[in-house]
Amino acid sequence: MVLGWNVLVILWGAFVRASGSGAGCGSHWPLCNGEVIPTAPALKTIIEFTHRTTSGLALIGVLVLLLWARRAFPKAGLVRRFAWASLVIILLEAALGAGLVKLGFVEKDSSVGRAIYLCAHLANTQLLLGALALTAWFSRPDSAGLRFSFGPAKAAMLLPVAMLVGIGGAIAALGDTLFPATSFAQGLADEMSSTAHFLLRLRILHPALALLFAFYASLIVLQTIKVRRSCESASLAWTTWGILTVQMITGVLNVWLLAPIWMQIVHLFLADALWIVLVLMLVESAPRRSHIQ
Protein backbone atom coordinates (compact mmCIF):
# COMPACT_ATOMS: atom_id res chain seq x y z
CA MET A 1 0.00 0.00 0.00
CA VAL A 2 2.77 2.44 0.91
CA LEU A 3 4.62 1.64 -2.31
CA GLY A 4 1.47 2.14 -4.40
CA TRP A 5 0.70 5.43 -2.71
CA ASN A 6 4.20 6.72 -3.43
CA VAL A 7 3.81 5.81 -7.10
CA LEU A 8 0.62 7.88 -7.19
CA VAL A 9 2.45 10.80 -5.54
CA ILE A 10 5.20 10.57 -8.17
CA LEU A 11 2.67 10.57 -11.01
CA TRP A 12 0.90 13.58 -9.54
CA GLY A 13 4.25 15.32 -9.23
CA ALA A 14 4.79 14.75 -12.94
CA PHE A 15 1.37 16.29 -13.59
CA VAL A 16 2.39 19.31 -11.51
CA ARG A 17 5.46 19.78 -13.73
CA ALA A 18 3.70 19.08 -17.02
CA SER A 19 0.80 21.40 -16.22
CA GLY A 20 3.11 24.23 -15.16
CA SER A 21 1.71 24.26 -11.63
CA GLY A 22 4.99 24.06 -9.71
CA ALA A 23 4.69 27.66 -8.51
CA GLY A 24 1.05 27.23 -7.49
CA CYS A 25 1.98 27.93 -3.88
CA GLY A 26 4.43 30.71 -4.75
CA SER A 27 7.91 30.53 -3.25
CA HIS A 28 6.54 29.46 0.14
CA TRP A 29 7.32 26.09 1.69
CA PRO A 30 5.91 24.30 3.65
CA LEU A 31 3.16 26.94 3.65
CA CYS A 32 1.19 27.55 0.47
CA ASN A 33 1.18 31.23 -0.48
CA GLY A 34 1.83 31.97 3.18
CA GLU A 35 -1.18 29.95 4.38
CA VAL A 36 -1.53 26.52 5.96
CA ILE A 37 -4.60 25.87 3.80
CA PRO A 38 -4.96 28.24 0.84
CA THR A 39 -8.17 30.21 0.63
CA ALA A 40 -9.83 30.89 -2.75
CA PRO A 41 -7.03 29.03 -4.54
CA ALA A 42 -6.45 29.11 -8.29
CA LEU A 43 -6.36 25.81 -10.21
CA LYS A 44 -2.53 25.74 -10.20
CA THR A 45 -2.57 26.24 -6.44
CA ILE A 46 -4.98 23.34 -5.97
CA ILE A 47 -2.77 21.09 -8.10
CA GLU A 48 0.41 21.99 -6.23
CA PHE A 49 -1.23 21.93 -2.78
CA THR A 50 -2.69 18.49 -3.52
CA HIS A 51 0.80 17.24 -4.36
CA ARG A 52 2.20 18.62 -1.12
CA THR A 53 -0.63 17.04 0.88
CA THR A 54 -0.25 13.63 -0.72
CA SER A 55 3.53 13.84 -0.27
CA GLY A 56 3.01 14.51 3.43
CA LEU A 57 0.74 11.49 3.69
CA ALA A 58 3.40 9.43 1.91
CA LEU A 59 5.94 10.43 4.58
CA ILE A 60 3.50 9.44 7.33
CA GLY A 61 2.96 6.12 5.55
CA VAL A 62 6.68 5.38 5.54
CA LEU A 63 6.88 6.23 9.25
CA VAL A 64 4.07 3.78 9.96
CA LEU A 65 5.84 1.21 7.79
CA LEU A 66 9.00 1.60 9.87
CA LEU A 67 7.09 1.24 13.15
CA TRP A 68 5.47 -1.94 11.83
CA ALA A 69 8.84 -3.30 10.70
CA ARG A 70 10.34 -2.61 14.14
CA ARG A 71 7.52 -4.51 15.85
CA ALA A 72 7.20 -7.43 13.46
CA PHE A 73 10.76 -8.18 12.31
CA PRO A 74 14.15 -8.80 13.97
CA LYS A 75 16.58 -5.95 14.51
CA ALA A 76 19.22 -7.15 12.05
CA GLY A 77 16.72 -8.24 9.41
CA LEU A 78 16.41 -6.91 5.90
CA VAL A 79 12.87 -5.59 6.38
CA ARG A 80 13.99 -3.19 9.09
CA ARG A 81 17.01 -2.12 7.09
CA PHE A 82 15.00 -1.26 4.00
CA ALA A 83 12.27 0.41 6.06
CA TRP A 84 14.92 2.66 7.62
CA ALA A 85 16.38 3.32 4.17
CA SER A 86 12.92 4.25 2.90
CA LEU A 87 12.51 6.79 5.69
CA VAL A 88 15.90 8.41 5.05
CA ILE A 89 15.28 8.59 1.31
CA ILE A 90 11.77 10.02 1.60
CA LEU A 91 13.06 12.72 3.95
CA LEU A 92 15.65 13.60 1.32
CA GLU A 93 12.84 13.52 -1.25
CA ALA A 94 10.92 16.09 0.79
CA ALA A 95 14.01 18.28 1.03
CA LEU A 96 14.53 18.07 -2.73
CA GLY A 97 10.90 18.97 -3.32
CA ALA A 98 11.23 21.99 -1.06
CA GLY A 99 14.40 22.99 -2.89
CA LEU A 100 12.59 23.02 -6.24
CA VAL A 101 10.25 25.66 -4.87
CA LYS A 102 12.77 27.72 -2.90
CA LEU A 103 15.28 27.79 -5.76
CA GLY A 104 12.63 28.69 -8.32
CA PHE A 105 13.15 25.54 -10.44
CA VAL A 106 9.50 25.51 -11.50
CA GLU A 107 7.19 26.60 -14.30
CA LYS A 108 9.16 28.18 -17.18
CA ASP A 109 12.65 27.96 -15.68
CA SER A 110 14.94 26.30 -18.25
CA SER A 111 18.28 26.65 -16.49
CA VAL A 112 21.06 24.11 -16.29
CA GLY A 113 20.56 24.15 -12.54
CA ARG A 114 16.99 22.92 -12.89
CA ALA A 115 18.07 20.12 -15.22
CA ILE A 116 20.78 18.95 -12.82
CA TYR A 117 18.42 19.22 -9.86
CA LEU A 118 15.78 17.25 -11.73
CA CYS A 119 18.28 14.46 -12.36
CA ALA A 120 19.07 14.24 -8.65
CA HIS A 121 15.37 14.25 -7.81
CA LEU A 122 14.66 11.44 -10.28
CA ALA A 123 17.52 9.30 -8.98
CA ASN A 124 16.35 9.75 -5.39
CA THR A 125 12.79 8.85 -6.38
CA GLN A 126 13.95 5.60 -7.95
CA LEU A 127 15.95 4.75 -4.84
CA LEU A 128 12.81 5.34 -2.76
CA LEU A 129 10.71 3.01 -4.91
CA GLY A 130 13.44 0.38 -4.78
CA ALA A 131 13.73 0.55 -0.98
CA LEU A 132 9.96 0.34 -0.51
CA ALA A 133 9.68 -2.56 -2.95
CA LEU A 134 12.44 -4.47 -1.14
CA THR A 135 10.82 -3.78 2.24
CA ALA A 136 7.64 -5.40 0.96
CA TRP A 137 9.49 -8.24 -0.79
CA PHE A 138 11.50 -9.34 2.23
CA SER A 139 8.47 -9.10 4.53
CA ARG A 140 6.84 -12.11 2.86
CA PRO A 141 6.52 -15.16 5.13
CA ASP A 142 8.67 -17.32 2.83
CA SER A 143 11.48 -14.74 2.67
CA ALA A 144 13.10 -15.55 6.02
CA GLY A 145 16.79 -16.22 5.50
CA LEU A 146 16.97 -14.75 2.01
CA ARG A 147 20.07 -12.71 1.33
CA PHE A 148 20.21 -9.32 -0.32
CA SER A 149 22.11 -9.29 -3.58
CA PHE A 150 21.58 -8.04 -7.12
CA GLY A 151 23.44 -11.04 -8.50
CA PRO A 152 26.39 -11.00 -10.92
CA ALA A 153 27.85 -7.66 -11.97
CA LYS A 154 26.57 -8.00 -15.53
CA ALA A 155 23.02 -8.24 -14.18
CA ALA A 156 23.40 -5.65 -11.44
CA MET A 157 24.64 -3.12 -14.03
CA LEU A 158 21.07 -3.02 -15.33
CA LEU A 159 20.08 -0.79 -12.42
CA PRO A 160 22.45 2.15 -13.06
CA VAL A 161 21.69 1.86 -16.77
CA ALA A 162 17.96 1.97 -16.02
CA MET A 163 18.52 5.00 -13.81
CA LEU A 164 20.37 6.76 -16.63
CA VAL A 165 17.45 6.03 -18.96
CA GLY A 166 15.08 7.46 -16.36
CA ILE A 167 17.20 10.59 -16.00
CA GLY A 168 17.20 10.97 -19.77
CA GLY A 169 13.42 10.63 -19.70
CA ALA A 170 13.13 13.37 -17.07
CA ILE A 171 15.25 15.71 -19.21
CA ALA A 172 13.18 14.88 -22.30
CA ALA A 173 9.93 15.46 -20.41
CA LEU A 174 11.17 18.84 -19.17
CA GLY A 175 12.09 19.79 -22.73
CA ASP A 176 8.65 18.70 -23.95
CA THR A 177 7.02 20.85 -21.28
CA LEU A 178 9.08 23.99 -21.84
CA PHE A 179 9.48 23.74 -25.62
CA PRO A 180 6.45 21.85 -26.98
CA ALA A 181 6.69 20.86 -30.63
CA THR A 182 3.88 21.61 -33.07
CA SER A 183 4.78 18.64 -35.27
CA PHE A 184 7.11 15.63 -35.27
CA ALA A 185 9.22 17.13 -38.06
CA GLN A 186 9.54 20.46 -36.27
CA GLY A 187 10.52 18.77 -33.02
CA LEU A 188 13.19 16.72 -34.78
CA ALA A 189 14.53 19.83 -36.54
CA ASP A 190 14.75 21.64 -33.21
CA GLU A 191 16.76 18.78 -31.69
CA MET A 192 19.23 18.78 -34.58
CA SER A 193 19.69 22.56 -34.66
CA SER A 194 23.04 23.84 -33.39
CA THR A 195 21.29 26.89 -31.95
CA ALA A 196 18.60 24.95 -30.09
CA HIS A 197 18.28 25.10 -26.32
CA PHE A 198 20.34 22.43 -24.57
CA LEU A 199 17.18 20.68 -23.31
CA LEU A 200 16.07 20.13 -26.90
CA ARG A 201 19.49 18.92 -28.01
CA LEU A 202 19.61 16.45 -25.12
CA ARG A 203 16.13 15.12 -25.82
CA ILE A 204 17.39 12.67 -28.47
CA LEU A 205 19.53 10.90 -25.85
CA HIS A 206 16.53 9.33 -24.13
CA PRO A 207 15.27 7.14 -26.99
CA ALA A 208 18.86 6.16 -27.85
CA LEU A 209 19.56 5.09 -24.27
CA ALA A 210 16.19 3.36 -24.06
CA LEU A 211 16.97 1.19 -27.09
CA LEU A 212 20.34 0.15 -25.67
CA PHE A 213 18.75 -0.60 -22.31
CA ALA A 214 15.97 -2.67 -23.92
CA PHE A 215 18.54 -4.84 -25.68
CA TYR A 216 20.68 -5.28 -22.56
CA ALA A 217 17.67 -5.96 -20.32
CA SER A 218 16.34 -8.55 -22.77
CA LEU A 219 19.60 -10.49 -22.55
CA ILE A 220 19.46 -10.50 -18.74
CA VAL A 221 15.79 -11.48 -18.76
CA LEU A 222 16.49 -14.40 -21.10
CA GLN A 223 19.33 -15.55 -18.86
CA THR A 224 17.10 -15.30 -15.79
CA ILE A 225 14.39 -17.37 -17.43
CA LYS A 226 16.95 -19.95 -18.56
CA VAL A 227 18.53 -20.34 -15.11
CA ARG A 228 15.12 -20.26 -13.36
CA ARG A 229 16.53 -20.01 -9.86
CA SER A 230 12.97 -19.88 -8.53
CA CYS A 231 9.41 -19.68 -9.82
CA GLU A 232 9.29 -16.08 -8.64
CA SER A 233 12.42 -15.11 -10.55
CA ALA A 234 11.05 -16.54 -13.79
CA SER A 235 7.69 -14.85 -13.25
CA LEU A 236 9.36 -11.52 -12.52
CA ALA A 237 11.55 -11.93 -15.61
CA TRP A 238 8.53 -12.47 -17.85
CA THR A 239 6.79 -9.50 -16.21
CA THR A 240 9.86 -7.34 -16.76
CA TRP A 241 9.92 -8.28 -20.42
CA GLY A 242 6.22 -7.59 -20.81
CA ILE A 243 6.39 -4.14 -19.20
CA LEU A 244 9.53 -3.32 -21.17
CA THR A 245 7.78 -4.15 -24.44
CA VAL A 246 4.74 -2.04 -23.61
CA GLN A 247 6.99 0.77 -22.41
CA MET A 248 8.90 0.86 -25.70
CA ILE A 249 5.65 1.04 -27.64
CA THR A 250 4.39 3.79 -25.34
CA GLY A 251 7.63 5.72 -25.82
CA VAL A 252 7.17 5.69 -29.60
CA LEU A 253 3.56 6.86 -29.20
CA ASN A 254 4.65 9.57 -26.78
CA VAL A 255 7.03 10.99 -29.39
CA TRP A 256 4.55 10.57 -32.24
CA LEU A 257 1.72 12.27 -30.32
CA LEU A 258 4.06 15.13 -29.25
CA ALA A 259 4.06 14.16 -25.57
CA PRO A 260 0.56 15.06 -24.34
CA ILE A 261 0.32 15.21 -20.56
CA TRP A 262 -1.77 12.03 -20.24
CA MET A 263 0.76 10.06 -22.29
CA GLN A 264 3.64 11.41 -20.21
CA ILE A 265 1.88 10.13 -17.09
CA VAL A 266 1.29 6.68 -18.63
CA HIS A 267 4.92 6.53 -19.78
CA LEU A 268 6.15 7.45 -16.29
CA PHE A 269 3.87 4.90 -14.63
CA LEU A 270 5.27 2.14 -16.82
CA ALA A 271 8.82 3.36 -16.11
CA ASP A 272 8.17 3.16 -12.35
CA ALA A 273 6.59 -0.29 -12.68
CA LEU A 274 9.52 -1.49 -14.79
CA TRP A 275 12.03 -0.20 -12.24
CA ILE A 276 10.26 -1.92 -9.34
CA VAL A 277 9.92 -5.27 -11.12
CA LEU A 278 13.51 -5.06 -12.37
CA VAL A 279 14.84 -4.55 -8.82
CA LEU A 280 12.82 -7.50 -7.55
CA MET A 281 13.83 -9.72 -10.47
CA LEU A 282 17.53 -9.12 -9.85
CA VAL A 283 17.20 -9.77 -6.12
CA GLU A 284 15.12 -12.92 -6.61
CA SER A 285 17.43 -14.33 -9.27
CA ALA A 286 20.53 -13.91 -7.07
CA PRO A 287 21.80 -16.71 -4.75
CA ARG A 288 19.03 -17.12 -2.23
CA ARG A 289 20.16 -17.93 1.29
CA SER A 290 21.93 -15.97 3.99
CA HIS A 291 22.70 -16.18 7.68
CA ILE A 292 20.55 -13.07 8.21
CA GLN A 293 17.13 -14.05 9.58
65 contact partners, CB below 8 Å, separation of at least 6? 2, 83, 86, 132, 135
- Coil, helix or strand at residue 44: helix
Confirm if 134 and 283 have CB atoms less than 8 A apart.
yes
Total count of domains within the chain: 2
pLDDT for residue 287 = 63
292 and 154 share one domain: yes
Residues 127, 197 within the same domain:
no
Examine the domain organization and report whether 140 and 14 are in the same domain: yes
Instruction: Supply the pLDDT for residue 290.
Output: 47
- Residue 186 structural domain: 150-293
Distance CA 273, CA 241 (A): 12
Same domain, 41 and 178: no
CA-to-CA distance for 232 and 283, rounded, in angstroms? 10
Report phi then psi at 152, rounded to 5.
Answer: -60, 155
Q: Are residues 287 and 171 in the same domain?
A: yes
pLDDT at 247: 96
Number of residues in the chain: 293
Of 144, 168, 200, the residue at which a domain comes to its end is 144
- Residue ranges for the chain with pLDDT beneath 70: 143-147, 287-293
Percentage helix, strand, coil for the chain under 3-state DSSP, each rounded to 5: 75, 0, 25
Residue 216 and residue 128 share a domain: no
Report how far residue 287's alpha carbon sits from residue 100's, in angstroms, rounded to the nearest whole number: 41
- Distance of alpha carbon 38 from alpha carbon 28, whole angstroms: 12
Residues 118 and 220 grouped into a single domain: no
pLDDT at 143: 67
Reply yes or no: is the peptide bond before residue 287 cis, omega within 30 of 0.
no
Domain boundary among 144, 159, 178: 144
- Residues 124, 184: one domain? no
Same domain flag for 74 and 185: no
Is residue 159 located within the same domain as residue 139?
Answer: no
- Where does a domain end: 105, 129, 144? 144
Is there a single domain that holds both residue 241 and residue 169?
yes
Say if residue 110 is in the same domain as residue 54.
yes
